[in-house]
Amino acid sequence: MFPITAAPAAHSLALSEPAIQDLDLAKALGYERPTNIRNLIKRHEASLEAMGSLLHHEAMIVAGKGAQRSVTEYRLTKAQAAFIIAKAGTKRADSLAVSIAEIFAMAADGRLAPVDTTGAAELRAVGQRFETRLAAIVAEEQEARSGAFALLARGCSRRRRRR
């Protein structure tokens, strides 16, 4: 697994941005069983934390015949929610993901501009974190290829010795 460069804890979005409750997002995305979104969140925890703190807490719920159990509830920032939307796979989520992609394309083409210097600085920081993550991915892929070639070379040399 490659290291994921996270947004700094003091990142303004991580501390001041409103967050959405996991079950509210699941209902908006058309989940038949809203609690299933928590499995998706857990599976992508490292990526979500790269966008800032993943807010969560334990809550007691009453299940069945009065039995109580603890569950983890999550609150997602806009960026984290957008990521989960892209991964959710429901028809509503896919429709939202298309809109997010269109807005991203507009921003990437320079048709959307930051409103102030703070926004511009945040955009640069996002770009820098992306480059850091990309470099880590490339390094991991190169290491995996080198390992595979080393195994292949060992296998070939053993066959030659047996002949």
pLDDT the model gives residue 108: 86
CA distances 94 to 21, 30, 77, Å, are 20, 11, 19
Angle at 86 between CA 85 and CA 91, to 5 degrees: 70
| Better pLDDT: 162 or 150 | 150
DSSP label at residue 36: G
Same-domain check for residues 103 and 140? no
Tokens 């920032």 -> residue = 77
Q: Which of 56, 50, 55 is nearest to 2 (CA)?
A: 50
Same-domain check for residues 5 and 71? yes
Same-domain check for residues 160 and 106? no
Same-domain check for residues 102 and 124? no
Confidence of residue 113 (pLDDT cuts 50, 70, 90): confident
Same-domain check for residues 46 and 63? yes
Query: What percent of the chain is modeled with pLDDT above 70?
Result: 85
Domain extent for 45: 1-112
Query: What percent of the chain is modeled with pLDDT above 90?
Result: 50
> What is the rounded average pLDDT for all residues in the chain?
85
pTM given for the model: 0.68
Same-domain check for residues 79 and 150? no
Same-domain check for residues 101 and 155? no
DSSP letter string, 110-146: T-S--SSHHHHHHHHHHHHHHHHHHHHHHHHHHHHHH
One-letter identity of residue 30: G
Confidence of residue 34 (pLDDT cuts 50, 70, 90): very high
Query: Does residue 120 carry a pLDDT above 80?
Result: yes
| Better pLDDT: 28 or 17 | 28
Same-domain check for residues 90 and 153? no
